[in-house]
Amino acid sequence: MPVAAEIYYSFNAGSSEGQHPPVVLIHGAGGTHLFWPPEMRRLTGYRVYALDLPGHGKSGGRGLQSISAYCQAVRTWLEAVGLHSAVFVGHSMGSAIALTLALDHPEHVLGLGLIGASARLRVAADLLEYASNPATQSKAVELVVQRSFSPQTPASFIQLAGKRLAEARPSVLYGDFSACNDFDEIARVGQIRAPTLILCGEDDQMTPPRFARLLSESIPNSMLKIIPSAGHMVMLEQPRATAAALAEFLAGIAYY
């Protein structure tokens, strides 16, 4: 897996340069590029980059403490790999990073995919408390897992996702949750002009569909997709449906 600006990433050269816009996948709190299923990392016909944010997975660093700091790290990576602009697709915390890029640096954003998203990402008090102490991080992970999946998701699948999340360093996980809790762009979200796909699992408890609907109503030129039999980890629970929705959205983005 290549590295640029101390950020590791997977890369799928799905099309020749110039045919379709490049796609950058940004994972959520405590995650890695593996939280994106193969159906999205290898999206047919597209160059797809899936990042490990600083301090996550195989990337260096200790993790960052704010969405704006992660946004700057992604911008630095973008320059290092020689990309001027891309479609940014983010899940949960990653959606906040993508949204901030669109607001503060619209010249880099050809389109947005916001998954499990909201213009404000308040984190439950119990989750923050457990994550703040390394001795209780396992409880924080347990709560995230309990609240992130549809009741219809197989238990074995949920256990695997929990195992991956538990690999995050305690300081990184707490920093991510704190960054999410401080994120609030309600006042500015209506300024976004990039084509936007808002995607949410029907059973999402972390960012329920009502937040996705509010986001869709606030962002001009946005489209909303609610996927059944899925929770907050919709891209893992329903990878084919998520990839299909993204492919349909990308097909409508002009790229020269």
Q: How far apart are CA 117 and CA 97, in angstroms?
A: 11
Please check whether residue 70 lies inside any domain of the structure: yes
Domain region containing 22: 3-251
Average pLDDT in the chain: 94
Please check whether residue 173 lies inside any domain of the structure: yes
* Contact yes or no for 4/80 (Cβ under 8 A): yes
Please check whether residue 233 lies inside any domain of the structure: yes
* Contact yes or no for 54/61 (Cβ under 8 A): yes
Please check whether residue 185 lies inside any domain of the structure: yes
Please check whether residue 130 lies inside any domain of the structure: yes
- pLDDT digits over 45-97, tens only? 899 999 999 999 999 888 999 999 999 999 999 999 999 999 999 999 999 99
Task: Check residue 14 and give its pLDDT.
Answer: 73
Q: How far is CA 155 from the centre of its chain?
A: 23
The CATH number that applies at residue 230 is 3.40.50.1820
Task: Check residue 130 and give its pLDDT.
Answer: 96
Q: Is the predicted pLDDT of residue 17 greater than 70, yes or no?
A: no
Task: Check residue 16 and give its pLDDT.
Answer: 53
Task: Check residue 19 and give its pLDDT.
Answer: 78
Tokens of 182: 């401080």
Please check whether residue 256 lies inside any domain of the structure: no
4 three-state secondary structure: strand
* Contact yes or no for 202/229 (Cβ under 8 A): yes
- pLDDT digits over 203-214, tens only? 999 999 999 999
Outline where DSSP puts E strands in the chain. 3-4, 7-13, 23-26, 47-51, 86-91, 109-115, 196-201, 222-227
Q: How far apart are CA 64 and CA 172, in angstroms?
A: 7
27 three-state secondary structure: coil
Tokens of 30: 């405590």
* Contact yes or no for 31/165 (Cβ under 8 A): yes
What contacts 193, CB < 8 A, 6 or more positions away?
A: 106, 220, 221
Tokens of 211: 């937040």
Q: How many domains does the chain have?
A: 1
Q: Report the interhelical angle of 137-148 vs 155-166 (nearest 10°).
A: 140
- pLDDT digits over 218-248, tens only? 999 899 999 999 999 999 999 999 999 999 9
